[in-house]
């Protein structure tokens, strides 16, 4: 069920800004939860570390999208 065009599902104009905003949001949440993790139980450190990893993944997605857009 395609219309015969070779367009991708995602428009390149939306992936880069959204992934950048997600990276910023996850980095902000990691920073906000770091204080509680440093002063509390060592198990509380999982939340900021998870947010930091999600931020890095979003940045990597943004870089790959920019590279793919430059190649096209």
Listed by start position, the domains of the chain span 19-71
**What is residue 1's predicted lDDT score, i.e. its pLDDT?**
47
Dmax (CA) for the chain in angstroms is: 58
User: Contact at 8 Å (CB) between 27 and 55?
Assistant: yes
**What is residue 6's predicted lDDT score, i.e. its pLDDT?**
62
* pLDDT tens digit at each of 72 positions of the chain: 455 566 555 555 788 889 999 999 999 999 999 988 888 888 888 999 999 999 999 999 999 988 887 776
**What is residue 49's predicted lDDT score, i.e. its pLDDT?**
93
């Amino acid at each position: 069920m395609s219309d015969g065009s070779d367009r991708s599902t995602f428009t390149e104009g939306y992936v880069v800004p959204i992934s950048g905003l997600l990276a910023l949001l996850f980095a902000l949440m990691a920073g906000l939860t770091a204080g509680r993790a440093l002063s509390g139980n060592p198990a509380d450190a999982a939340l900021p570390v998870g947010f930091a990893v999600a931020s890095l993944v979003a940045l990597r997605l943004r870089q790959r999208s920019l590279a793919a857009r430059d190649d096209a």
